Amino acid sequence: MEIVILGSGTATPSLERNSSGLIIKTQKLWMAVDMGPGVMRRICEAEMDYKRIDAILITHFHPDHVADLVHLLFASNYEYGPARREPFTLIGPRGLEQFYDNLVRAYGSWIVPQGGRLIKKEMNAEAADTMQLAGLTIRSVPAAHSFPSLSYRVDADGVSVTISGDTDVSDRLTELASGSDVFICECSLPDALKVSGHLIPAEAGRIAAGARVGKLVLTHFYPPCDEVDVVAQASAVFSGEIIKAQDLMVIQV
């Protein structure tokens, strides 16, 4: 498994940190997690082909996590060179169908992938859920953020990665991440600037320690996180490897 960070930032515009997004490459498929504004450009900068994306997981519907979904859908109808004919799957919390329908009402049929190539699947927004996709296991739990929001775990190629999405402290997230090889966890602000609905480094570290994960990757940084040592703050409570995400970083699992 290989993970490519496409956006380690938030809604705050930044040249260094794009809004949320990453790609998980497995032996069976490529899976994007969130499509914040600028993710499509980051895909190009990473020298990847967006047409290779087989599935998109959406954690929640805030613009910094979904704005480039429209770009991807639109681009799927204007492919040059070898065109993708295989279907791709859009996965998100319950309410995804309505969200997609609203996008189509706003943008028209231009963003409806031709040939019925888009498959939409909703996951339970109020309880743990599981689905299988091309031999991968995708698990989700509700996140402690705006409703509906999900955290995901992907098990593939004999390894596992958990993605917190935006969330506050949650026992469900600790259970979901239990034993994960990699835990990609939001860390919006330093310890001194805690806000409801988001995590600080010490909280991310405690969740990682409680889940006994192999590696903690901190991401989703507002600008103050680049003014202090958030890795040191997390390491005060988690003794394992901690990585501060950067855009275009590649993590091998």
- Average pLDDT of the chain to the nearest whole number: 97
Residue 53 has pLDDT above 90, yes or no: yes
What average pLDDT score do residues 73-98 get? 90
The rounded percent of the chain whose pLDDT value lies above 70 is 100
How many Cα atoms sit within 13 Å of 50 on the Cβ side? 25
pLDDT tens digits, one per residue of 16-39 = 999 999 999 999 999 999 999 999
CATH of the domain at 58: 3.60.15.10
The whole-angstrom distance between residue 225's C-alpha and the CA centroid of its chain comes to 19
Structural domain of residue 138, as residue ranges?
A: 2-252
Quote the crossing angle between the two packed helices 96-107 and 63-75, to the nearest 10°. 60
Residue 92 has pLDDT above 90, yes or no: yes
pLDDT tens digits, one per residue of 123-179 = 999 999 999 999 999 999 999 999 999 999 999 999 999 999 999 999 999 999 999
Residue 45 has pLDDT above 80, yes or no: yes
Comparing CA positions, the residue from 54, 59, 45 lying closest to residue 93 is 59
Q: What is the 3-state secondary structure (H, E, C) of 70-111?
A: HHHHHHCCCCCCCCCCCCEEEEEECCHHHHHHHHHHHHHHHH
Q: What is the pLDDT of residue 154?
A: 98
Q: List phi, psi (to 5°) of 9.
A: -110, -155
Element (H, E) at 137: strand 136-142
What average pLDDT score do residues 223-248 get? 98
Rounded to whole angstroms, how far apart are CA atoms 175 and 211?
Answer: 7
Q: What is the pLDDT of residue 85?
A: 83
Residue with tokens 């296991």, as numbered in its chain: 137
Domain total of the chain: 1
